[in-house]
Structure 1
Amino acid sequence: MDFQTSVKTCLTQKYATFAGRASRSEFWWFILAYFVGALIALLLGRIVYLLYVLALIVPTTSAGWRRLQDTGRPGWYILVPVGFSLFTMLLSPAPMADPMAPGGMGGMGLMAILGIVQLILAILYIYWLTRPSEPETNTYGPPPQA
């Protein structure tokens, strides 16, 4: 699957489709397009970036869900790093917080631990998402058209 077909498939045909499987090329081309768009949105401002992320959280999650199913893993596993990232963002201190204030170092320690856990999760999920497709029909359906 090429770049344009992948983006078109994920944004129009399978926007919120969590059933089935997604090939490596479908997933990774879409993720590349997502990150390029995110960089452009970030350059345009925080509000534009926030709207961009909110608009694409469903198709990005569904593409990861289908990709995990393509490798034989339950798709809901994609919710672990997504949920953990949201949890970490909620706990993150204000940007102008003084780390030397009383109790500030404890917050930094917590954020360091959460960052290490997030790094480990990222490595694990990148490994899973780069695995080859199961060549035969699995629990989640027939192999995707490449």
Structure 2
Amino acid sequence: MVVRLVLRARAGTKGRVAVSFVAAIQSGFRNYAKFAGRAGRSEFWWWTLFTVLVQAATSGFGDTINGLASLAVLLPSLAVHVRRLHDTNRSGWWMAAPIAGIVVAIFVFVAFGILTAFDVVDGAEWDPSTAFDGVSAWAITLLAAGLFVAVATGVMNLVFLLQRSQPAANRFGPPPPPRTVQ
């Protein structure tokens, strides 16, 4: 079976390369842990659709099968994400930006949980209706800031992933060449 990359020419564009669904899956597994280079929009979005379909298909088989399927596509998903960012001339580290906000939010929740646990150990009675009475303004501010950073950088990431490929070579290499995958 021959899976080919389709060259499309539209008004105002110069021969964009669009990867087919099967070619994107093949590329994802062939470049399993390859973080260098570039991946076009179609390769990234077809791969993303494939991972969603894998998750949907394995979700009915229990947590073990679904977890193994998630692990199988995790590393190539990270790699194709980084290569897609490279295609827009951005560092792959942009992918990690939303995680910083989430880490701050988790830290605040854990710190609050530890402080609450110490109160309970000291003899205070746990009352869910007053659980947040002792939360200081700095904790709420940190939580809000962390969540804001996570959402804002997540939206920025999405915008980067939706942008067109740079047609010329950039600091991450030349654009993906048109080719036939056999």
Q: Is the TM value for this pair above 0.5?
A: yes
Deviation >3 Å, runs of 4+: 83-93, 98-101, 103-106, 109-117
Structure with the higher fraction of residues in helix conformation: 1
User: Are residue 4 (structure 1) and residue 22 (structure 2) matched?
Assistant: yes
**Residue 44 of structure 1 corresponds to which residue in structure 2?**
61
Cα shift at 1:79:
2.5
Among candidates 66, 81, 90, match of residue 64 of structure 1: 81
Which structure: larger Rg? 2
Cα shift at 1:78:
1.6
**Residue 48 of structure 2 corresponds to which residue in structure 1?**
31
Any residues of structure 2 matched to 1:40-119 within 5 Å, and which? 40-81=57-98, 83-84=99-100, 87=103, 100=129, 102-103=131-132, 114-119=146-151
* Distance change in 2, residues 1:100/1:36 (3 Å): farther
**Residue 142 of structure 1 corresponds to which residue in structure 2?**
174
**In structure 1, C-alpha distance between the alignment counterparts of 2:166 and 2:85, rounded to whole Å:** 11
CA contact (8 A) 1:10 1:30 kept: yes
Query: Secondary structure of the equivalent of 1:35?
Result: helix
CA contact (8 A) 1:70 1:134 kept: yes
CA contact (8 A) 1:6 1:26 kept: yes
- Normalization by structure 1: what TM-score? 0.76
Which amino acid in the other structure matches residue 94 of structure 2? Y
Any residues of structure 2 matched to 1:113-128 within 5 Å, and which? 114-128=146-160
Cα shift at 1:85:
8.1
* Distance change in 2, residues 1:76/1:116 (3 Å): closer
Which amino acid in the other structure matches residue 7 of structure 1? I
Structure with the higher fraction of residues in strand conformation: 2
Q: Identify unmatched segments of 5+ residues in structure 2.
A: 1-18, 111-126
Cα shift at 1:125:
0.7
**In structure 2, C-alpha distance between the alignment counterparts of 1:132 and 1:67, rounded to whole Å:** 10
**In structure 2, C-alpha distance between the alignment counterparts of 1:101 and 1:2, rounded to whole Å:** 56
Query: Percent identity, aligned pairs only?
Result: 30
| Per-residue deviation, residues 56-78 of structure 1 (Å, max 9, x unmatched) | 22100100110101100112222
* Distance change in 2, residues 1:119/1:86 (3 Å): closer
Q: Identify unmatched segments of 5+ residues in structure 1.
A: none
**Residue 161 of structure 2 corresponds to which residue in structure 1?**
129
**In structure 2, C-alpha distance between the alignment counterparts of 1:47 and 1:25, rounded to whole Å:** 31
- Normalization by structure 2: what TM-score? 0.63
| Per-residue deviation, residues 25-49 of structure 1 (Å, max 9, x unmatched) | 1111000111111122233333333
